[in-house]
Structure 1
């Protein structure tokens, strides 16, 4: 006679083990370093207050500037260290809604992000709420800042100028250039400086910091 009770118990134990093994993947968060789809930049995503923000942490082509910013006074600011993902709030399990700033045209769009896997981030941006497009970012290691050459180092061979990732033409060393964000607070400080919002890493954002219905969030311009 087969002991169905024991067999059933064994089956539940196997199932429980599989579920526990899958838990880390299901619990993954977007926080971390991400390479954009075309490989020209990395974005560091961290939680500031109760929202996710993403700032440019590395550029393949150094020297990019925010030349299409609606504010003429800010069209010479560097794109390195600039916020791109703005105030993303969790709207559902594995979904965060907010805005994305596009320095290639100076416009801000509604957007959402979600994890397709622990190392794949799907981003979708929309114009007028229905004309949408998306791309997939890949999790990557944080970029190291460029090292200063030693006095004995040979001068690098000059390269022709190349178009910046989000700004004007600039020379392009192969390893790009990085901005060091050692802590979450460093990221949140960069966000606060760019937007004027009192964004902090230690405390939850106050409800009033969210723009009213029909209003707009201060764009990092």
Structure 2
């Protein structure tokens, strides 16, 4: 029987461990799903839309809220339910974090922001004004991760490029709930089930540049 030298056998074992690590990459943290904000007054649904992460209000403790603090008077009557909060968050290379903007309905302002999953049940939100005066909070997961839908991923659905889906009934849902029925439905009488696939919300499907 042939016997391998101890150092040679150890080299083979270490090489096998290295190959196993490369072949089986670690699962990246997933920021998608439903998250309850720190003070518990709202739940934010986060999903991947058009290659970026977006978050919109899917539930509010006090129904019928409006964006009354928005400096744009035309938006002061829009419902807070279904309103985008996390805006076009882009993946940071090499880390499980996404950068973009966060909308603060309390003062009607947009801030540079980073979101970072902590484990599987927490999401850290950091926002800064002009690169300083940074603050943040931690959200708690209340819903499972959301698969990418064809509506939110034009690469998987070429027909969606450059145009909104013609029929929300036929579009795949990220959450398994109903898609938005109408802009008016997202008011005081709307529920989380009416929000459905946030990628179909008009402000996310056709975003306008923020200030």
Distance 2:69 2:195 in 1: 25
Question: RMSD of the alignment, in Å?
Answer: 3.1
The residue that corresponds to 2:124 in the other structure is 122
Give the TM-score, by structure 2 length.
0.64
- Listed one character per residue, the Cα deviations across residues 200-219 of structure 1 (whole Å, up to 9, x for unaligned) are xxxxxxxxx8xxxxxxx337
Distance 1:189 1:144 in 2: 13
Distance 1:117 1:101 in 2: 24
The residue that corresponds to 1:84 in the other structure is 85
* 1:11 Cα deviation from its structure 2 partner: 5.9
Distance 1:58 1:129 in 2: 30
* 1:117 Cα deviation from its structure 2 partner: 1.8
Give the TM-score, by structure 1 length.
0.62
The residue that corresponds to 1:132 in the other structure is 134
- Listed one character per residue, the Cα deviations across residues 184-213 of structure 1 (whole Å, up to 9, x for unaligned) are xx31221xx236x635xxxxxxxxx8xxxx
- Listed one character per residue, the Cα deviations across residues 101-141 of structure 1 (whole Å, up to 9, x for unaligned) are 11111111111111222322111101121110011112222
Unpaired runs of 5+ in structure 2?
A: 145-174, 178-187
Match of 2:206 among 185, 198, 202: 198
Q: Is the 8 A contact 1:46 1:52 kept in 2?
A: yes
The residue that corresponds to 1:218 in the other structure is 210
Residue correspondences, number: 165
The residue that corresponds to 1:178 in the other structure is 192
Q: Which has the higher contact order (CA 8 A, sep 6+)?
A: 1
After TM superposition, list the pairs within 5 Å mapping 1:29-44 onto structure 2. Answer: 29-44=30-45
- 1:70 equivalent in alignment to 2:71: yes
Q: Is the 8 A contact 1:68 1:103 kept in 2?
A: yes
Distance 1:34 1:70 in 2: 27
State the secondary structure of the residue aligned to 1:180. helix
Q: Is the 8 A contact 2:110 2:210 kept in 1?
A: no
Unpaired runs of 5+ in structure 1?
A: 146-169, 171-175, 200-208, 210-216
* 1:13 Cα deviation from its structure 2 partner: 5.5
